[in-house]
Amino acid sequence: MCLSPEEKIGTRETARTTGYEIMGLKIWLNDKLVDEKEATISVLDHGLLYGDGVFEGIRVYNGKIFELEAHIKRLYESARAIRLAVPMNRDQLIDAVKKTTEANNVVGGYIRLVVTRGIGTLGLNPFVCENSRVFVIADNIQLYPEEFYEKGMKVISASTVRNHPLALPPQVKSLNYLNNILAKIEALDNDVPESIMYNHEGYVAEATGDNVFIVKNGIIYTPPVEAGALEGITRAVVIRLAAQENLQVIERNLTRFDLYVCDEFFLTGTAAEVIGVVEIDGRVIGDGKPGPHTRLLRKKFYEYAHAKEK
């Protein structure tokens, strides 16, 4: 399952997907919708200079914004942790997200909600930045190819160690993704789409943009957030869905060995949803196909996400 050069390198066109002309989006910027070409951020914004800001990636299914409350809560908590004042209250933010989604006729797609520290000086001091900025983009989404879901993905173990939780709490979904990007580069250099990141103690933290789950002897395991994982919203939904199916889920530290000898392996995330992993570092998982728990949870997730009433 080698990646095509396009999948490996990516282009603006492939990354941007279809449906809207370049320049055609309506973007929420601070307090109103503007045309994409007017949606600009200063080069002195600390979001750009230092990755100083927070964000959310949110799905839209059947015109409904998926788990919006949970995303808004996580955004405010991320902001609070880095002492970033979100310049809008919860209701205003929800309204901005909904209006942006509607203005772009996004029925099935992806929303990016970003809060940056705002314009400051060339120094690090965040408190000289006067106004934090908010923008919201709603667009189509680029998904993994269907083949990845049917056949499962190959991954590698990244040598890039996950940020120490005392360096940056993993719950903070910050604009600084360099730690994950370095691990993503390792994956792409090895012709696989994802890599697994381990923490400073060698325990599994997460994938570069997804949470990790394994199944062993019928029990589902996932690393605790303290191991260095973002508290994924898809992860939480999958844990709930597993409980509804009377499947046991245990949060505990996992080692590389646990991944090598598990019966099933899957990742969860807003974009990937639930996706099976069938090989890690050349070790085939189970019978080399996404296993029954993975397939069941993917199906339940699909039904939950596409349900008319939630």
Contacting residues toward ligand PMP, per CB under 6 A = 57, 180, 206, 209-211, 230, 232-235, 268-270
Classify residue 246 as exposed, middle or buried by CB count within 10 Å of its CB (0-12, 13-18, 19+): exposed
Type of residue numbered 282: G
Least distance to ligand PMP, CB of residue 55, Å: 9
Catalytic-labelled residue, pool 26, 64, 154, 173: 173
Query: CB-side exposure of 258: number of CA atoms within 13 Å?
Result: 22
Nearest Cα neighbor of 136 from 71, 56, 81 is: 56
78 in Cβ contact with 116 (< 8 Å) = no
177 in Cβ contact with 253 (< 8 Å) = no
Nearer to ligand PMP, 71 or 133 (CB): 71
Type of residue numbered 212: V
Nearer to ligand PMP, 46 or 235 (CB): 235
Q: What is the DSSP string of 178-197?
A: HHHHHHHHHHHHTT-SEEEE
Nearer to ligand PMP, 168 or 247 (CB): 168
Least distance to ligand PMP, CB of residue 134, Å: 19
Task: Write down how long the chain is.
Answer: 310
Least distance to ligand PMP, CB of residue 269, Å: 4
Other beta carbons within 10 Å of 84: 25
Longest dimension (CA), the chain: 57
Nearer to ligand PMP, 26 or 184 (CB): 184
Verify whether residue 8 is a known catalytic residue.
no
Least distance to ligand PMP, CB of residue 206, Å: 5
Catalytic residues: 173
